[in-house]
Amino acid sequence: MTVLKAVQPDLRRKKVNWQKVAVITLFAFVPMFLLILFTYIPFGKMIQFSFHNMSYTKDKGFVGFDNYVKIFTKPEYVDAMLLSLYYMAGAVVQLALALFFASVLSLERIHGAGIFKGIMFFPFLVNGIAIGYIFKYFYTRGFVLDSVLQTIGIPLESLPYWLRDQSVNNWSLVFTSVWKYCGQNMVLFIGAIASIDPTLYEAATIDGANRWQQFKAIILPGIKTVFMLNLILSITGSLSAFEPAYVVGSMGANGTATFFIKIHQMAHVSQKVGQACSMAMVLMGLILLFTAAQRLFFRYVMKDADNTFNAKANKAKALW
Amino acid sequence: MTNAAIAVRHTNRNARIKRTVIKTLEYAALVLACFIALLPIWSSFTTSFKTAEEYATTNAMALPQDWLNFGNYAQVWTEGEMLRAFLTSASVVVVVVTVSVMMGSMLAYVLNRFRFPGNGLIRNLFMIATLIPGIAMQVTTYQIMKDLGFLNSIVGYMILMSGTDVISIYIFLQYFENLDVALDESAVLEGCTYFGVFFKILLPLTKPAIITVAVLKGVGVYNEYYSANLYLQSNSWRTISTALYSFSGPFKSSYNIICAGVLLTLIPSLIIFLVFQKQVYAGLASGSVKG
């Protein structure tokens, strides 16, 4: 009964099972090595560098909290942080739309539901750089979007330059993010709704509940976990938003540089690695703070003891 | 007919009208959403068939004169060296998917089937790692890649991409939990080693999990552009993403040609999606809900 020993260790015999040691070492070594190499070492270095004035090649020494002080006193950094508010607003709209379409596709008998779902999901699979070109073309003066708006009777003169005009360009970028992720959120919601016991709806219908009541009493509680997960992902994603500004907004041109774009430029253009690391630390602090705040909110305010959505949530939408 | 019966019929009719209106609105919303999802891609599609002259003179939404004008595709394919980029991307996807599947399933096997000091520690290290946003660590990761000599190295890029993928480990962990330990026991009683148990008995049984992980990881790696742009700047190792990114140089604002390139890169994603739709949806769910 060797395996039983492995699964429930036999305390009477202390003889080392070398085969077991070999299999554990061999199978766990590489993943652990990579985890430490690409997560824990960079993490440690990030903390260390954030207190230094340094580039990739030269370290000019320890400077204490100087880098951190700069982040909060220079308006350009604070402005970049505030840009994430656009993305948060977009995230709220995105979640609402995703939830709406998920419930329509799950609860109603819709002909071609699979096709609708597939079409709305597909943007999630489009290459990021391709999205950049598609939307630069889409937003170009007089091109796709403008043509469509002219067709419904809006004159070109009254339309802004979608990517250049600073009063709208951040919304234009946020839209590309909603365009990409809405269908993905919807698919997650559909999956969660599908796991709700269907007899609940029947019982509710017999009791005379209408669709809205069913939604509130059955669906919302049933998908609470997935909803919170999506919410946390969207908010933390907004804080570290970079994709639209990177690929569509030409690397944050015209006042669209989000905080992460600033970090990227600081490190790879200005070569100020220490400063970039302190910014990354601030970004991480904000993300952890928001995640913790939301979890506390849901646990104590919403009386939610459900623990299944947890740390790994953060990784689910991180595509890299 | 009594008044009561008429009233009931009226309410029934009203209810029916209300249902029809709601249903119509729902379909309208769905069609509008699909229109918005498709419009940007559709406009690139139509533009990719336009000649340079047509592109310069016609409206962006006008349909191409010749739907069989593949000139732009030919040009982008050769001048953009897309075959090379596809081959590079394909090799990255194959290597990274294979390594991720092997690493994820092996680690999950060890964590799920054996008790040993450190089992909990390993699980915790992976858990905590998910709390640290990877995006924040790009700066120092770059330095490590540089120190390792992995700048402009396709092998380095592959290793970075195969690095800690918590999602695949979780998918495999869940799967192993549902595989009966009796399978292992009987195999060991018949003289099988632990390696044999894993490779000959358990791994073949995890095929659905393997497909899910492979599809998710494959699509993710195929579409990855940030690290590719950062670490593969030399022309010899362009992935699809970096090749696309470089188009703005030679093709400037000739969007008819660029769109052809964009459409070509969408084809593999579309095929994978159509073939593995179920696994893609399921993978997203299992990758995010549990754990």
Whole-number Å distance between alpha carbons of A221 and A205: 17
H helices of chain B, in order, are 3-47, 52-57, 71-79, 82-113, 119-131, 138-147, 154-162, 166-177, 181-189, 194-196, 203-205, 207-223, 226-231, 240-246, 255-288
Count of domains in chain A?
2
Interface touch A192/B289, C-beta < 8 Å: yes
The pTM of the full predicted model, rounded to 2 decimals, is 0.87
The pLDDT of residue B107: 94
Both A171 and A108 in one domain: the answer is: yes
Closest residue to A120, CB basis, from B34, B160, B287: B34
Residue A1 falls within a domain, yes or no?
no
- A147: which 2 tokens? 């043509």
Residue A171 falls within a domain, yes or no?
yes
Residue A6 falls within a domain, yes or no?
no
Q: What is the mean pLDDT of chain B?
A: 88
Least confident of A57-61, B5-9, B24-28, B242-246: B5-9
What does the pLDDT average to over B48-71? 89
Both A250 and A272 in one domain: the answer is: yes
**Dihedral Cα A62, A67, A73, A79, nearest 10 deg:** 180
Q: What is the pLDDT of residues B23-33, one digit of tens each?
A: 999 999 999 99
Q: How far is A208 from chain B (nearest CA, A)?
A: 13
Q: What is the pLDDT of residues B206-263, one digit of tens each?
A: 998 999 899 889 999 999 999 999 999 887 889 999 999 888 877 877 889 999 999 9
Interface touch A56/B198, C-beta < 8 Å: no
Residues forming a β-bridge with A54:
A59
A94: left (phi over 0), alpha (psi -120 to 50) or beta: alpha
Cβ atoms A214, A201 nearer than 8 A: yes
The pLDDT of residue A303: 54
Interface of B with A in 139-198 (CB under 8 A): 139-144, 146, 159-160, 162-164, 166-167, 169-170, 181, 184-185, 188-189, 193-195, 197-198
**pLDDT at A210 exceeding the cut of 50:** yes
The helix (H) or strand (E) run that includes residue A53 is: strand A52-54
Bridging pattern class, strands A59-62 and A52-54: antiparallel
Cβ atoms A285, A71 nearer than 8 A: no
A288 in B contact zone (CB under 8 Å): yes
Residue B206 sits at the vertex; the CA angle it makes with B154 and A20, to the nearest 5 degrees, is 85
- B82-288, what's its fold? MetI-like fold (1.10.3720)
SS3 call for B265 = helix
B211 in A contact zone (CB under 8 Å): no
Question: Could you state, in order of their start, the residue ranges of all structural domains in chain B?
Answer: 3-47, 82-288
pLDDT higher at A4 or B31 = B31
Interface touch B223/A20, C-beta < 8 Å: no
Whole-number Å distance between alpha carbons of A97 and A189: 11
Q: How far is B133 from chain A (nearest CA, A)?
A: 6
Residue A186 falls within a domain, yes or no?
yes
Interface of B with A in 231-270 (CB under 8 A): 240-241, 244-245, 247, 255, 258-259, 262, 265-266, 269-270
What does the pLDDT average to over B92-96? 96
The pLDDT of residue A3: 45
What does the pLDDT average to over A160-168? 90
The pLDDT of residue B42: 95
- Could you tell me the CA-to-CA distances from B60 to A89, B39, B110 in Å, in that order? 30, 12, 57
Cβ atoms A110, B26 nearer than 8 A: yes
**pLDDT at A31 exceeding the cut of 70:** yes
**pLDDT at B63 exceeding the cut of 50:** yes
Q: How far is A80 from chain B (nearest CA, A)?
A: 15
The pLDDT of residue A306: 43
Whole-number Å distance between alpha carbons of B26 and A111: 11
What does the pLDDT average to over A49-63? 89
**pLDDT at A320 exceeding the cut of 50:** no
**End-to-end distance of chain A based on CA atoms, in angstroms?**
43
Q: Which residue of A has its CA nearest to B55?
A: A143
Interface touch B220/A319, C-beta < 8 Å: yes
Residue B40 CB burial class (10 angstroms; 0-12, 13-18, ≥19): buried
Least confident of A94-108, B8-22, B77-91, B270-284: B8-22
Both A231 and A106 in one domain: the answer is: yes
Query: Above 0.95 for ipTM, yes or no?
Result: no
Banded pLDDT at B271 (limits 50, 70, 90): very high
Banded pLDDT at A304 (limits 50, 70, 90): very low
**pLDDT at A197 exceeding the cut of 60:** yes
Interface touch A9/B115, C-beta < 8 Å: yes
Residue B174 CB burial class (10 angstroms; 0-12, 13-18, ≥19): middle
Both A83 and A201 in one domain: the answer is: yes
Q: Taking the CB of residue B213, how many other CB atoms lie within 10 A of it?
A: 28
Whole-number Å distance between alpha carbons of A111 and B142: 50
Residue A238 falls within a domain, yes or no?
yes
Both A48 and A119 in one domain: the answer is: no
What does the pLDDT average to over A196-215? 83
Q: What is the mean pLDDT of chain A?
A: 84
Q: How far is B15 from chain A (nearest CA, A)?
A: 12
Query: What is the domain extent for residue A34?
Result: 14-69
B-chain CB neighbours of A319 within 8 Å are 220, 223-224
**pLDDT at A127 exceeding the cut of 60:** yes
H and E: helices and strands count for chain A: 18, 2
